[in-house]
Amino acid sequence: MNYSLSFIFYISILSLFIFFLYIFLSRKINENILIKTLFNKNKLREHEKEINRYLEVLNNLNDGIAVIDRDKNVIFVNPAFNKNIRSAAIPANVKRFDFLIRSFELNSLVDSIIASNDIHFIEKKIKYFDRAEEKIVNCTIFKIGTSDEYAVIVKDATYLQKIENARTTFIQNISHEIKTPITAIMGFAETLKNGAIENRETSIKFINIIEHHTKKLNYLVDDLITLTNTETGKSPVKYEKINIKSSVENSLILFEKEIKEKLIDINNNILDISFTSDSSKFNQIVTNLIQNAVKYTEKGGIVKLEGYIIDAKTAHSFISEPEDASILWNNLPLKEGCEKFLFFSVEDTGIGVNYTNLLRLGERFFRVDSSHTAGHKGTGLGLAIVKHTLILLKGSAVVKSNLGNGFIFSFILPEIEEPS
Ligand SMILES: Nc1ncnc2c1ncn2[C@@H]1O[C@H](COP(=O)(O)OP(=O)(O)O)[C@@H](O)[C@H]1O
Ligand SMILES: [Mg+2]
């Protein structure tokens, strides 16, 4: 009896022990699971954060990135890719790479990398047309690691290409502009040396030609220096009171001879006003405009000059509502807080320019084709100087013309007391 009682006692103690052990262990296990779950959740959150970080970077890159599979289904595409090469207005359900992009060439490059086992990387500059505008993009296509996926990266290089083209054109033009007078100077000097100098009349004629070409070279170098200084900000803006009327009169004097010879009627409506801006830069603009008006107006034509003060509201409508077929230059926002603006315009009844050429005015060395400018000397830098000087003075301009029907160049300048 005693024996069985103590057996029951021990069994109960053991059961109790097992029971507590079970409770203890199960809590421990649950705790571990909980810790593990929490740990995984944290890890998941970290991963999510990391993915969002990468997505944010990819979505804000200027380079377009697309990831595609072997069948050319799009897995990922960032907004810049759409901007740089993707076709406009594609239905959202289109997921095939070849339907998304504009460039046949890029498509073929992708095909070649997918079809080949050896090529894993291609880099190429390609061109395509976007609403008649030529676009240039640098494309890089590569296989992503050992996966069956490919990354297509497109960088918009249109702007860089434009700069490169402008640089090449500039060097070609400048070489030509310098070479022509130099060849003439050398040729006539040599003819003089080889005997022509003996004849006084011929000598004078040749020396005049040499002088003419030397002057031309001199104007070209002057214009180039002015343009470079204006573009690079080497010529600082100095604000002072300008008497607009006398500044214009000083410019007109320079062309007095030509005005008389061509019987040009100068219709001068410049009001007697004082205005604060950079005097020599203002004069530079006006001189170039009057020079063009006189140069490109035939005998008996009219050049009309206007200059008066306008308020901010009128200045605002000048830049926001340009007339049909006119071109707005330097579309800068109006200088904040400025209430006083100068309105200035030079209008002529001359040969004018057609709309296509009007769009190009202000480009360095751009002159309307030679039959149009035949007989008129010039460097093709005048309007480029005007354009850049206007930017420095925070002004805007509107240019309007019709071939054979005159030319109007109007601009506004804000009055600036202190350099900002
Ligand atoms: N008032 C104008 N009337 C007609 N064409 C003009 C006028 N002003 C400028 N142009 C055209 O714009 C071109 C560029 O002008 P500009 O830069 O001043 O160069 P340039 O006068 O030295 O040729 C001129 O060659 C001319 O073809
Ligand atoms: Mg000119």
pLDDT in tens, 311-325: 999 999 999 888 878
Q: Is residue 419 part of a domain?
A: no
Q: Is residue 18 part of a domain?
A: no
pLDDT at 398: 96
What is the residue with the minimal CA distance to atom 13 of ligand 1? 367
Q: How many angstroms does the Cα of residue 289 sit away from the middle of ligand 1?
A: 9
141 & 86 share domain: yes
**Rounded Cα distance, 287 and 283, in Å:** 6
Q: Is residue 4 part of a domain?
A: no
Asked if 364 contacts 173 with a C-beta cutoff of 8 angstroms, the reply is yes
**Rounded Cα distance, 215 and 6, in Å:** 131
Asked if 94 contacts 77 with a C-beta cutoff of 8 angstroms, the reply is no
93 & 217 share domain: no
Residue (of 323, 327, 251) closest to 292 by Cα position: 251
Backbone dihedral region for residue 122 (phi beyond 0: left; psi -120 to 50: alpha; all else: beta): beta
Which of 128, 156, 184 is where one domain is finished?
Answer: 156
Domain range holding 125?
59-156
Q: How many angstroms does the Cα of residue 288 sit away from the middle of ligand 2?
A: 6
Ligand 1 neighbourhood includes 408 CB (under 6 angstroms):
no
pLDDT > 70? residue 87: no
96 & 202 share domain: no
* Band of pLDDT at residue 246, cut at 50, 70 and 90: very high
pLDDT > 70? residue 199: yes
Residue of higher predicted confidence among 334 and 402: 402
- Helix (H/G/I), strand (E/B), else coil: 191: helix
pLDDT > 70? residue 419: no
- What pTM was computed for the model? 0.66
**Rounded Cα distance, 271 and 74, in Å:** 66
101 & 152 share domain: yes
**Structure token digits, residue 250:** 């000083």
309 & 181 share domain: no
Ligand 1 pocket mutation pick from 221, 290, 353 by most atoms within 8 angstroms of CB:
353
Ligand approaching nearest to the C-alpha of 378: 1
**Rounded Cα distance, 50 and 18, in Å:** 47
107 & 218 share domain: no
* Angle separating helix axes 382-392 and 200-231, nearest 10 degrees: 30
Give me the long-range contacts of 118-124 (CB less than 8 A, separation at least 24): none
Q: What angle do CA 54, 52, 60 make, to 5 degrees?
A: 55
pLDDT at 371: 64
What is the residue with the minimal CA distance to atom 12 of ligand 1? 367
Q: Which residues pair with 275 in a beta bridge?
A: 242
| Structure letter (DSSP) for residue 363 | S
Ligand 1 neighbourhood includes 294 CB (under 6 angstroms):
no
pLDDT > 70? residue 248: yes
What does the pLDDT average to over 370-395?
A: 84
Q: Into how many domains does the chain fold?
A: 3
* Band of pLDDT at residue 147, cut at 50, 70 and 90: confident
pLDDT > 70? residue 91: no
Residue type, 280: S
When the pLDDT of each residue in the chain is averaged and rounded to a whole number, the result is 88
pLDDT at 332: 73
Ligand 1 pocket mutation pick from 221, 222, 345, 361 by most atoms within 8 angstroms of CB:
361
- Helix (H/G/I), strand (E/B), else coil: 331: coil
**Rounded Cα distance, 171 and 169, in Å:** 5
Ligand approaching nearest to the C-alpha of 255: 2
pLDDT > 80? residue 395: yes
65 & 121 share domain: yes
Backbone dihedral region for residue 22 (phi beyond 0: left; psi -120 to 50: alpha; all else: beta): alpha
pLDDT in tens, 279-300: 999 999 999 999 999 999 999 9
pLDDT in tens, 251-271: 999 999 999 999 999 999 999
168 & 149 share domain: no
Give whole-number Cα distances, 301 to 96, 282, 294, 304, 307, in Å. Answer: 63, 25, 9, 10, 20
* Torsion sign over Cα 179, 181, 184, 187: negative
Which CATH number is 181's domain given? Answer: 1.10.287.130
407 & 294 share domain: yes
66 & 125 share domain: yes
**Rounded Cα distance, 361 and 130, in Å:** 24
pLDDT > 80? residue 168: yes
Which CATH number is 334's domain given? Answer: 3.30.565.10
Q: Is residue 277 part of a domain?
A: yes
Q: Which of 20-24, 131-135, 250-254 has the highest mean pLDDT?
A: 250-254
**Rounded Cα distance, 394 and 333, in Å:** 9
Please give the full DSSP string across 91-115, using - where no structure is assigned: -TT--BHHHHBS-HHHHHHHHHHHH
pLDDT at 135: 85
Ligand 1 pocket mutation pick from 220, 251, 357, 383 by most atoms within 8 angstroms of CB:
383
Indicate the burial class of 150 (C-beta count within 10 angstroms; 0-12, 13-18, 19 or more).
buried
Q: Is residue 364 part of a domain?
A: yes
Q: How many angstroms does the Cα of residue 382 sit away from the middle of ligand 2?
A: 4
Ligand 1 neighbourhood includes 351 CB (under 6 angstroms):
yes
